[in-house]
Amino acid sequence: MAIKKQKSVKSANWSRLSTEKLLGWRICDLGLSLKNSPVEPLIERLYSELDKKQLTFRPHFWISDEWFCPDGIPGVSIPFFLIHPRLRRLELENMLEVEGGDRRWLMMLLRHESGHALLNAYNLDKQNEWRKIFGNPNARYPETYLPRPYSKRFVVNLPNWYAQAHPHEDWAETFAVWLNPHSDWKKRYAKWPAFKKLQYVDDLMRGLKNRKPKLRNKRTDYPVEKIRMTLGEYYQEKRDRYGIDHPEFFDIDLRKLFIRKEEGGHEKASRYIRGAKKEIMDVVERWTGEYKYRINEVLNDMIKRCNELDLRVGDNKEHLMPELTACLTMLVMNKLHSGGFHISL
Packed helices 292-309 and 269-288: angle between N→C axes, nearest 10 degrees: 150
- pLDDT at 265 (0 to 100): 76
Report the DSSP pairing between strands 343-344 and 144-145: antiparallel
Kind plus residue range of the DSSP H or E element containing 77? strand 75-79
Q: What is the pLDDT of residue 65?
A: 97
Residue 249: the pLDDT is 60
Around Cβ 295, how many Cβ atoms within 10 Å? 26
Which CA distances in Å does 56 have to 72, 106, 182, 214, 216?
18, 22, 21, 12, 12
pTM given for the model: 0.78
**Do 47 and 87 meet the contact criterion of CB atoms below 8 Å apart?**
no
* Greatest pairwise CA separation for the chain in angstroms: 75
Q: Return d(Cα 204, Cα 197) in angstroms, integer.
A: 10
Alpha-carbon span 220 to 63, nearest angstrom: 9
SS3 content of the chain, % helix, strand, coil (to 5): 55, 5, 40
Distance CA 107, CA 43 (A): 8
Q: What's the CA gap between 149 and 160, in Å, rounded?
A: 8
pLDDT at 3: 45
Q: What is residue 33's three-state secondary structure?
A: coil
- Give the distance from CA 322 to its chain's centroid: 26
Return d(Cα 177, Cα 154) in angstroms, integer: 11
**Alpha-carbon radius of gyration of the chain:** 23
Q: Which residues of the chain fall below pLDDT 50?
A: 1-11, 244-246, 339-344
Give the pLDDT of residue 342: 45
CA dihedral defined by 161, 201, 176, 294, rounded to 10 degrees? Answer: -10
